[in-house]
Amino acid sequence: DIQMTQSPASLSASLGETVTIECLASEDIYSNLAWYQQKPGKSPQLLIYYANSLNDGVPSRFSGSGSGTQYSLKINSLQSEDVSIYFCQQNYDSPYTFGAGTKLELK
């Protein structure tokens, strides 16, 4: 199975800051990487697919990058509504594994 290692596990940032979350795959996943946002008490929602493609309706302050085994999610100009847990998932090979999540809080 492909292991997805996400870092940091938690993150505290101020409004307007830029934050970056990393995801490391245990083998090359050829950009088959998605990012999901899960707000408290809600189901996950798709933010980014294929490493850097923004899902419809997602604010442009979210961006994804990376290739091979290393990927990142960047949030520019942090807003209060961005308080969430963020997960990466590889959809390259079954089983389609998730990272453990990054909990983003406001400072």
Partner 1 sequence: QVQLKETGPGLVQPTQTLSITCTVSGFSLTSYYMQWVRQTPGKGLEWMGFIRSGGSTEYNSEFKSRLSISRDTSKNQVFLKMNSLKTEDTGVYYCARITTVGVMDAWGQGASVTVSS
Residue ranges that bind partner 1, judged by CB under 8 A: 32, 34, 36, 42-46, 49-50, 55, 87, 89, 91, 94-98, 100-101
Work out how close the CB of 14 gets to partner 1 at its nearest, in angstroms, rounded to a whole number. Answer: 27
Work out how close the CB of 49 gets to partner 1 at its nearest, in angstroms, rounded to a whole number. Answer: 4
> What string of H, E and C letters represents the secondary structure of 44-70?
CEEEEECCCEECCCCCCCEEEEEECCE
Work out how close the CB of 2 gets to partner 1 at its nearest, in angstroms, rounded to a whole number. Answer: 11
Whether the bond between 95 and the residue before it is cis, its omega within 30 degrees of 0, is yes
Q: Which amino acid is at 43?
A: S
